[in-house]
Structure 1
């Protein structure tokens, strides 16, 4: 069992990665929403040869169609620029061509406040047409109101492996109790039933004929043959039918722990006609006491063909082609449930609860609950999960066309908005009955759509949706279009958006010359410097009809000026507050600086007292530049310093009136101050006006109770010389001196002690009155023993 659990966790990790890919890339169109925007939409507005290319180059670009707007030699591409720049160059507002996106609400039925049932309107607007200019964003407000009593279809999908034997007895009495509980929150509820075991191939199920007929351990108990998935009862509002059909069921058996639940979930989502799903809130209750097989496990049984994503129920409600197709992946199951707008509730036992909690994170709007060992709490579990799911409103979109991006902001109850990342979904939790929430859907196109696209927004778990017709505006609608216009040299070209398009063989800004005249030396002389040297048109244009037609940002009679070489501020030429001419920024009114970066206004520098920057700085570019020691937007804050008013204010108050924080200790705390009262009327205004007299006196103006003015003079304490350095050096010298004295005293005491001990030793040595070579207390370690039977060598032998 432990080994199988380890293998399952590994397979779940693999399927999780696959599911994320499957769920996030359901179609080639939706994959484009994560791509980077078109490179042409980055940066600032640049010149373009036509109005169409101009508005597609950048969302800030506009086109001036005024006749003769460009100067002599200036390229027609200079008609393209930012709105402010073109207006500053003299283009009339009515001659600006600047198409913008817009939106039209085609259908907006009011939300059904207080209504109940299936007919309530919960999502608005219902149909919108949005036209996008590439690079520009449009924001759509979608409103959702949670109505009471919304209809519910609940399909109970049960694991009938042998380990669920006790649970089946509980489920047989489930129908009536479940209907009663659901009818408390909705007037229309239907329930259905289906069951699953596992694929009927080795190693998932024993293929021994006797075991296929009766897979249970004992032959005396009722047991049905194993199967992958069986649809038992279509959705009905009759509790007796539910209990009768479930009562006919009996458990089955398989070999391994994981079950074939994914096959059952996929078929329940795909076979909508057989199950009988209505277009209402759809709940699928999945009960099991073990984990599940996923994509790839079928190879253990010789099954290599992936699931084809189609319904395969036969006339008996059995998943007939289970042995042919592999188990579906997590991503495939999540996508099928989302497409069918089904909200799964996983009611599982505690050992497998963590696995299903991880699975729920990969399936939008799903819930997980802990099932008791005998399923006795299943009704309460379903009701808790239903209340949680129905109070969570999740807005998502269908697949996006290439080049269109989407993002959401959710306003769930207050005025604030909660942002979601681009390509994500909007979500509000704990939404109450008859409560309205708002979703702000932001759309942006980075390229033109070849044809209109229908985008659908829907709240998961509910049947309503918002249909958005997406269009793009990619061309100018100039009203001056004229064939063979007199303006173009008496019909030698066609006029469109202020520019002449010459007929074949004609050239020039106004089609004023023919191609045959281009080789004339006289014409080229008008494109060179007076001395006749240098390249034609300074190498920055071409000579046409004896005049230079400059390219890019060049201008001048000989294209000698570069109108793109001016200073930039925050990446914008001339800061966006002027136009560049011959490398010099010509700023708009009230703007200064090399890049027009400075504003001539001083509104942001005026302090409350009327002065600029509180008297502690100067105003530059409408911002205060503070002197050293001061900071803040108005230089009104000082790091580590106090004004005289702040320093002596409390002493002035307690000395004059006996009030304030120092009133109880004024004589000691303000001994340095000499406070006097002067009842002479003073015209100055304010609590404190500091003035210095001989660097000693400060004046404080205080309003007394009678409404008059009192003049207080505070003489600060005379400040002596600063002896800080001397004190610090003295402390350090004293510490060093004391240390040296202690070291010398210690060494002296040790020397005296050693000399006394040596003297005492010498004295005792001289007092000794005996002297021996051997120690009288020494005892030898050798013992001599005589053998009484030992004979000397000179004794005669016997």
Structure 2
């Protein structure tokens, strides 16, 4: 039964185990990036045609709105005011008339770091308060610094398993208080310790409910033993070592039935009952010692307990967990959440048999440590100190639950280097020494508007300080030109806001120049048709309002005859992104050309040390167009072209030695080449080394190659000796000889062994002390048997 429960527990645990621009050295910086954008906000770099400034800035974080009066041309919709900043400036919108909200940060509180521990006023985290304004889709990068101070106060609560198997350990813990305080006082000026214990829920099948067993659960009646209990808070946190030792001295072991213990109940109550435990606002350590596994959520059903843990403190006046039989064990996730919310760092000191389980558990609980406890807990002080040093030198930055639509990630900059690493939804630096500053770049991005300001908390796990981030989202334009009943809007027939007229009820038109009753007037419609009166209104690309066309989409012109979205595209981008589409024609930027502005006038990619495109091509659109036979980004490769050595090899061979493929017409084929044979010249890297058809090496030097005349200097022929047959024959003979030697050696060893064994046999036979005649095995049969009946018959015959 225990093995089955342990397997179920292990399965639950494993299931639970299974959310650019280089910044300057300033405290805060802003980065606009498309990395990780919400797909709903991305418009592939283009802004939608919308009717208001608010809709414009919500469409994409790169969009701006031009509020200049009369900015749009005849027939253009007011939606053309929404575009990228560069496009609006190119179209003549003054920069001061652009409405383009940008995210920003403001430091509200930035106290300097403390030089040493100063109690509750210790400052290790900076800044302390920041206001951040976010535009949808734009990432703000907030730099948070942390610096460890020396002597930071510590509260340590010792939570011990008092089941019967921990009897030897209790004797050690009774002498623990003074040694532990002395060790901790070596690293901090203020330290307090407390004590609590646990066994298990007092219901079957966890604890025997036989009355005699409830009073004395230990195996023998002679042992000092206390009744079982779920959790008991024995000693609040204190700096009095003698009080710790006296309280622990009064403790005695208890007992239960099954192997797992009720440690999760104890951990939850120790974290929730902060007033009873006496936790200060300092580093909080909870040392959990046990020699076995633990019960988790769902196990309570075995004892008829179905109500989940309510996450509240239930200690009675005597310090006992009074509702242990009413609530189920907490889950791993609940324990992790409560410990993190209380800023408590658990240290699991367990024996070797339970160590793997707690190592898996530690992976699920932030800022926790695991150490192997000896069978009698003799190393518990050193184990606690090692775990404390490891935890205190690990700085983990986390944040409170953000509101919907806010996404947060971290980059950690540990040490003095500029190197940063992406650490996901937490920032972490390990092995941080005292007085060293580490930085965390918190990336905050909004994908939806917040209804109001939201305060986000950031903190380093295990430390009490927090950074308060006041979040705002920029979801509206801050236009300062609002005029009610503006004269610009047909003398008061509308309100002017962000350069656009918002007409009063019953008025229409870009300037509110006519009433709705006039819309169907034939006289007004005539202004929306071609001069010959044929064709649809506004070329079918807009609506006729007050005798003028209001074009839809990217159309423009008096009659919407121009389509500003029908220009050539390059790689799916209108005018390649390097020009403006006007009435179907791309008007390219100064450094681009082509029908789709796809061709850059820059030639930097074509320049090589040998000139443009290595002299084997032309530069078009900043890319090399290579001659036939050449390829590569700069036309520097030509697999079909012969090297000088290959080109002159046949002429060198026929001119010097009258051999080779050109031997029959060498004088004609190589008339432009002057060949001389130099006796044994010194060879260097300039000499050509080519192999002829009859497997001989040919050395020659191209001394001059100009104006179609070539001068070759050839070295006398050297025949290459082929040692292949010799090597093969030598290897074969060598293998045969080695094989024969091995066979002869083997036969010789066998012969020597046989002779040695025979000589030993002969020697033993000669040393025998007994005679063969005395051995019954060698004695002949000497018994004579006479048949009496046969003898009588013989006498009668006589």
TM-score normalized with structure 2 length: 0.78
The alpha-carbon deviation at position 112 of structure 1 amounts to: 3.2
Aligned to 2:554: 553
2:354 match: secondary structure:
helix
Contact 1:41 1:446 in 2 (8 A): no
1:696 aligns with 2:713: no
1:63 match: secondary structure:
strand
1:604 match: secondary structure:
coil
Change (3 A) 1:509 1:269: same
Tell me how many residue pairs correspond in the alignment: 663
The alpha-carbon deviation at position 674 of structure 1 amounts to: 6.0
2:217 equivalent among 215, 218, 241: 215
2:605 match: secondary structure:
helix
Can you list the C-alpha shifts for 1:571-615, whole angstroms capped at 9, x where unaligned?
543333212223332211111234323321112332345x22332
Aligned to 2:664: none
Change (3 A) 1:470 1:207: same
1:416 equivalent among 419, 423, 428: 419
Aligned to 1:358: 360
Contact 2:285 2:347 in 1 (8 A): yes
| Alpha-carbon distance between aligned partners in 2 of 1:630 and 1:225, rounded to the nearest angstrom | 93
| Alpha-carbon distance between aligned partners in 1 of 2:465 and 2:627, rounded to the nearest angstrom | 63
2:700 match: secondary structure:
coil
1:599 aligns with 2:627: no
The alpha-carbon deviation at position 334 of structure 1 amounts to: 0.4
Contact 1:286 1:345 in 2 (8 A): yes
2:345 equivalent among 325, 334, 343: 343
Contact 1:599 1:622 in 2 (8 A): yes
The alpha-carbon deviation at position 718 of structure 1 amounts to: 13
The alpha-carbon deviation at position 554 of structure 1 amounts to: 1.8
> What does 1:259-658 align with in structure 2 at a 5 Å threshold?
259-413=261-415, 414-421=417-424, 424-569=425-570, 572-608=573-609, 611-625=611-625, 634-636=634-636
In terms of mean alpha carbon deviation, does 85-94 or 200-209 score higher? 85-94
Contact 2:120 2:281 in 1 (8 A): no
> What does 1:162-241 align with in structure 2 at a 5 Å threshold?
162-241=164-243
The alpha-carbon deviation at position 637 of structure 1 amounts to: 6.2
| Alpha-carbon distance between aligned partners in 2 of 1:491 and 1:138, rounded to the nearest angstrom | 42
Contact 1:38 1:447 in 2 (8 A): no
2:93 match: secondary structure:
coil
Change (3 A) 1:407 1:14: closer
| Alpha-carbon distance between aligned partners in 1 of 2:381 and 2:82, rounded to the nearest angstrom | 68
The alpha-carbon deviation at position 372 of structure 1 amounts to: 1.1
1:673 equivalent among 701, 717, 722: 701
Aligned to 2:60: 58
| Alpha-carbon distance between aligned partners in 1 of 2:445 and 2:715, rounded to the nearest angstrom | 70
| Alpha-carbon distance between aligned partners in 1 of 2:426 and 2:50, rounded to the nearest angstrom | 38
Contact 1:16 1:331 in 2 (8 A): no
Change (3 A) 1:296 1:631: farther
Contact 1:662 1:669 in 2 (8 A): no
1:351 match: secondary structure:
coil
Contact 1:149 1:186 in 2 (8 A): yes
| Alpha-carbon distance between aligned partners in 2 of 1:323 and 1:627, rounded to the nearest angstrom | 89
Aligned to 2:107: 105
Change (3 A) 1:717 1:577: farther
Aligned to 1:39: 40
The alpha-carbon deviation at position 642 of structure 1 amounts to: 9.3
Can you list the C-alpha shifts for 1:448-484, whole angstroms capped at 9, x where unaligned?
1111000111000111111111011122122322122
Change (3 A) 1:273 1:695: farther
The alpha-carbon deviation at position 380 of structure 1 amounts to: 1.3
Change (3 A) 1:271 1:573: farther
The alpha-carbon deviation at position 632 of structure 1 amounts to: 6.1
The alpha-carbon deviation at position 622 of structure 1 amounts to: 2.7
Contact 1:619 1:625 in 2 (8 A): yes
| Alpha-carbon distance between aligned partners in 1 of 2:615 and 2:127, rounded to the nearest angstrom | 57
Change (3 A) 1:566 1:266: farther
In terms of mean alpha carbon deviation, does 53-62 or 577-586 score higher? 577-586
Contact 2:205 2:257 in 1 (8 A): yes
Higher relative contact order (CA 8 A, sep 6+): 1
Can you list the C-alpha shifts for 1:212-264, whole angstroms capped at 9, x where unaligned?
10000101000010000111111111111111111111110111001001001
The alpha-carbon deviation at position 386 of structure 1 amounts to: 1.2
1:471 match: secondary structure:
strand
Can you list the C-alpha shifts for 1:312-369, whole angstroms capped at 9, x where unaligned?
1111111100100000000000000000111111111111111111111111111111
Contact 2:703 2:710 in 1 (8 A): no
| Alpha-carbon distance between aligned partners in 2 of 1:48 and 1:646, rounded to the nearest angstrom | 68
1:420 match: secondary structure:
strand
| Alpha-carbon distance between aligned partners in 2 of 1:542 and 1:384, rounded to the nearest angstrom | 78
Change (3 A) 1:532 1:278: same
| Alpha-carbon distance between aligned partners in 2 of 1:718 and 1:554, rounded to the nearest angstrom | 82
The alpha-carbon deviation at position 117 of structure 1 amounts to: 6.3
Change (3 A) 1:86 1:141: same
Change (3 A) 1:545 1:344: same
Any unmatched runs of 5+ in structure 2? 20-35, 649-678, 690-695, 718-798
> What does 1:720-731 align with in structure 2 at a 5 Å threshold?
none
Contact 2:41 2:137 in 1 (8 A): no
Can you list the C-alpha shifts for 1:114-165, whole angstroms capped at 9, x where unaligned?
6676644211111111111111111111111122221111111111111111
Change (3 A) 1:518 1:588: same
Aligned to 1:122: 124
| Alpha-carbon distance between aligned partners in 1 of 2:289 and 2:383, rounded to the nearest angstrom | 11
| Alpha-carbon distance between aligned partners in 2 of 1:254 and 1:218, rounded to the nearest angstrom | 14
| Alpha-carbon distance between aligned partners in 1 of 2:638 and 2:199, rounded to the nearest angstrom | 77
| Alpha-carbon distance between aligned partners in 1 of 2:639 and 2:414, rounded to the nearest angstrom | 43
1:495 match: secondary structure:
strand
| Alpha-carbon distance between aligned partners in 1 of 2:353 and 2:314, rounded to the nearest angstrom | 32
| Alpha-carbon distance between aligned partners in 1 of 2:483 and 2:612, rounded to the nearest angstrom | 58
Change (3 A) 1:165 1:660: farther
Contact 2:542 2:551 in 1 (8 A): yes
1:379 match: secondary structure:
helix
The alpha-carbon deviation at position 627 of structure 1 amounts to: 5.5
Change (3 A) 1:629 1:273: farther
Contact 2:702 2:710 in 1 (8 A): no
| Alpha-carbon distance between aligned partners in 2 of 1:8 and 1:133, rounded to the nearest angstrom | 47
Any unmatched runs of 5+ in structure 1? 21-34, 649-654, 677-690, 698-713, 720-798
Contact 1:16 1:330 in 2 (8 A): no
In terms of mean alpha carbon deviation, does 460-469 or 510-519 score higher? 510-519
Can you list the C-alpha shifts for 1:657-692, whole angstroms capped at 9, x where unaligned?
9897799x9xx999411659xxxxxxxxxxxxxx64
| Alpha-carbon distance between aligned partners in 1 of 2:64 and 2:497, rounded to the nearest angstrom | 15
Cα RMSD after superposing both structures: 3.0
Change (3 A) 1:335 1:115: closer
